[in-house]
Amino acid sequence: MGKCRNITRLLSDALDRPLTTGEWVAIRLHLPTCSGCRNYRKQIRLLREAAHTMSGISTPGAANGDD
Ligand SMILES: [Zn+2]
Q: How far is the CA of 34 from the centre of ligand 1 (A)?
A: 5
Q: How far is the CA of 25 from the centre of ligand 1 (A)?
A: 14
Share of the chain above pLDDT 90, in %: 61
3-13 and 21-30 helices cross at what angle (nearest 10)?
Answer: 130
Cα–Cα nearest to 40, from 12, 6, 63, 1 = 12
8 A C-beta contact, residue 8 and residue 40: yes
Rounded average pLDDT over 50-61: 73
Q: What is the pLDDT of residue 58?
A: 60
Q: How far is the CA of 17 from the centre of ligand 1 (A)?
A: 21
**E-strand stretches of 1-67:** none
Q: Which residues surround ligand 1, an ion (CB under 5 A)?
A: 4, 34, 36-37
**What tens digit of pLDDT does each residue of 6-28 get?**
999 999 999 889 999 999 999 99
Domain boundaries along the sequence of the chain: 3-52
